[in-house]
């Protein structure tokens, strides 16, 4: 039985969400409060019962699960050699900027965006170029004119976030292709972080188009990052992977590893295998809960806090709240001091006056957090 209503006590378990600021009620980091799917727990128990935890490697079951997932969900057939197994996508982005650029070069991305996109350039001694997403006709979009104006001869990499965190956009096939064409035109490597791609709220209305599905001509400059971690709430186990079809590009990426990345732990591979093979019913139940939570939050805000604007979102469980009409010096600090809430500050994503609210939790907790926000206003 899939349970999305029980509130699980997490404080004191060593999780950053609840224990970083234990005096606050947390709705910040992208970590859900749901128990992972039963098949994942069964797979972990089975592996633990074996009792030996030596140095692991990706076993055949995991590799087959990834290949089948990519074929089934992303309509792309891959070989084992195309998969680069990784211990997480933040270190993977750091690895990418070191692999495909040299000190003094530049990395480009569009804001607001997940904070590590705005920091990994430092690991390679690179410059950062950003342009802002624009809100046009009720939708967040790329500002192509600004991007063309900001690009420099030293720009080597474009960091692409799809689905977009924190905006909740699912970029269309045409938009993904346009990003690829921009990268081709300016000779950039396209790094597509797609960690939230299995959290599309309406998969018929906004189907996801992965960069791994781009035409072959783009694949010599494309790296696609994927992981089951956000969808199945197993981020703490640390498993992700890159799909790199071009042999030369993949060798450059592998060569940059050096000794900087840790071994992937023995349990992570088995959790990922179970997630991809046996948890589709759990994922669909999760999406139903997230749709309910999203609509519940939208309705509450429209009724009780109309000064907070919530553009339509298409993916993730992370609501991007425009609080500028509240005229608060820092909305995040206000809600912390007046409501005891721990929210993500928009400034860290490159956009002051916004907060990010995590609704990946039982509906009762979503309402509790929103009520506290309302009381603070």
C-alpha–C-alpha distance, residues 156 and 176, integer Å: 18
For residue range 52-104, list pLDDT tens digits in order.
Answer: 999 999 999 999 999 999 999 999 999 999 999 999 999 999 999 999 999 99
pLDDT at 92: 96
For residue 279, count CB atoms less than 10 angstroms from its CB and return exposed for 0-12, middle for 13-18, buried for 19 or more: buried
Instruction: Show the beta-strand stretches assigned E in the chain.
Output: 25-26, 83-86, 106-111, 127-132, 134-136, 139-141, 155-161, 189-193, 222-226, 240-243, 318-322, 341-342, 344-345, 354-358
How would residue 348 be classed by pLDDT, with cut points 50, 70 and 90?
A: very high
DSSP symbols for 214-274: S-HHHHTTEEEEE-SHHHHT-GGG--EEEE---HHHHHHHHHTTTT-SPPPPHHHHHHHHH
CB atoms under 10 Å from CB of 136, counted, come to 10
Check pLDDT > 90 for residue 32.
Answer: yes
Q: Are residues 349 and 226 in the same domain?
A: no
Q: Are residues 286 and 255 in the same domain?
A: no
Q: Tell me the average pLDDT across 165-187.
A: 98
First to last CA, the chain: 39
Cβ-contact 177, 144 below 8 angstroms: no
pLDDT at 125: 97
pLDDT at 145: 98
Q: Are residues 248 and 327 in the same domain?
A: no
| Single residue among 245, 278, 311 that ends a domain in this structure | 278
pLDDT at 260: 83
Q: Are residues 76 and 197 in the same domain?
A: yes
pLDDT at 258: 85
C-alpha–C-alpha distance, residues 243 and 225, integer Å: 6
Q: Are residues 325 and 265 in the same domain?
A: no
Cβ-contact 331, 354 below 8 angstroms: yes
Q: Are residues 130 and 225 in the same domain?
A: yes
For residue range 134-151, list pLDDT tens digits in order.
Answer: 998 889 999 999 999 999
Q: Are residues 223 and 186 in the same domain?
A: yes
Q: Are residues 114 and 219 in the same domain?
A: yes
How would residue 326 be classed by pLDDT, with cut points 50, 70 and 90?
A: very high
Cβ-contact 254, 226 below 8 angstroms: no
| Single residue among 278, 298, 314 that ends a domain in this structure | 278
pLDDT at 137: 87
Helix (H) or strand (E) holding 46: helix 38-50
| Whole-Å CA distances, 142 to 171, 205, 265 | 10, 20, 38
Helix axes 247-255, 89-100, angle to 10 degrees: 110
Beta partners for residue 342, in sequence order: 26
C-alpha–C-alpha distance, residues 12 and 18, integer Å: 8
Q: Tell me the average pLDDT across 172-198.
A: 98
Q: Are residues 145 and 228 in the same domain?
A: yes
Domain count, the chain: 2
C-alpha–C-alpha distance, residues 210 and 99, integer Å: 22
DSSP symbols for 291-331: HHHHHHHHHHHHHH-TTSB-----BSSEEEEE-GGG--S-H
Q: Tell me the average pLDDT across 23-45.
A: 97
C-alpha–C-alpha distance, residues 168 and 181, integer Å: 23
| Single residue among 261, 278, 295 that ends a domain in this structure | 278
The three-point CA angle 144-199-268 to 5° equals 115
Query: What average pLDDT does the chain have?
Result: 97
Question: Comparing 14-23, 43-52, 135-144, 256-265, which segment has the lowest mean pLDDT?
Answer: 256-265
- Long-range contacts from 67-73, C-beta under 8 angstroms, 24+ separation: 68/276, 68/277, 69/276, 70/212, 70/226, 70/243, 73/197, 73/198
C-alpha–C-alpha distance, residues 217 and 226, integer Å: 21
For residue range 257-312, list pLDDT tens digits in order.
Answer: 888 888 899 999 999 999 999 999 999 999 999 999 999 999 999 999 999 999 89
Q: Are residues 293 and 371 in the same domain?
A: yes
For residue range 332-346, list pLDDT tens digits in order.
Answer: 999 999 999 999 999
106 in any annotated domain: yes
Q: Are residues 117 and 266 in the same domain?
A: yes
Question: Comparing 1-5, 19-23, 138-142, 224-228, which segment has the lowest mean pLDDT?
Answer: 1-5
C-alpha–C-alpha distance, residues 124 and 335, integer Å: 36
Check pLDDT > 90 for residue 2.
Answer: no
Instruction: Show the beta-strand stretches assigned E in 34-105.
Output: 83-86
38 in any annotated domain: no
Domain encompassing residue 343: 16-31+280-376
pLDDT at 1: 72
């Amino acid at each position: 039985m899939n349970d999305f209503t029980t509130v699980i006590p997490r404080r004191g378990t060593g999780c950053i969400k609840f224990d970083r600021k234990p005096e606050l009620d947390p709705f910040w980091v992208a970590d859900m409060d749901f128990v992972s799917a039963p098949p994942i727990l069964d797979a972990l128990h089975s592996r633990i019962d074996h009792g030996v935890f030596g140095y692991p490697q990706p076993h055949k079951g995991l590799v087959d699960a990834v290949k089948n997932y990519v074929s089934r969900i992303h309509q792309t057939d891959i070989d084992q050699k195309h998969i680069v197994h990784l211990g997480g996508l933040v270190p993977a982005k750091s690895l990418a900027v070191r692999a495909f650029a040299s000190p003094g070069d530049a990395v480009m991305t569009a804001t607001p965006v997940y904070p590590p996109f705005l920091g990994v350039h430092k690991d390679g001694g690179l410059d950062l170029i950003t342009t802002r997403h624009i809100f046009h006709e009720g939708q967040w979009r790329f500002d192509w004119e600004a991007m063309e104006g900001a690009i420099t001869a030293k720009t080597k990499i474009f960091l692409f976030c799809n689905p977009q965190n924190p905006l909740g956009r699912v970029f269309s096939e045409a938009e993904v292709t346009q990003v690829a064409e921009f990268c081709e035109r300016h000779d950039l490597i396209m790094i597509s972080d797609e960690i939230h791609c299995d959290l599309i709220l309406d998969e018929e209305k906004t189907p996801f188009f992965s960069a791994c599905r781009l035409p072959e001509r783009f694949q010599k400059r494309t790296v696609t990052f994927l992981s089951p971690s956000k969808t199945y709430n197993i981020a703490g186990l640390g498993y992700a992977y890159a799909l790199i079809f071009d042999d030369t590009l993949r060798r450059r990426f592998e060569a940059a590893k050096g000794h900087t990345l840790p071994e992937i732990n023995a349990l992570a591979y088995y959790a990922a295998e179970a997630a991809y093979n046996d948890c589709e019913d759990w994922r669909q139940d999760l999406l139903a809960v997230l749709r309910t939570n999203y609509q519940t939050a939208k309705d509450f805000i429209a009724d009780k806090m109309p000064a907070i604007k919530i553009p339509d979102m298409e993916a993730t469980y992370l609501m991007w709240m425009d609080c500028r009409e509240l005229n608060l010096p820092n909305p995040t600090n206000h809600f912390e001091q007046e409501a005891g809430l721990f929210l993500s500050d928009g400034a860290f994503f490159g956009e002051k006056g916004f907060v990010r609210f995590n609704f990946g939790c039982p509906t009762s907790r979503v309402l509790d957090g929103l009520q506290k926000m309302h009381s603070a206003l």
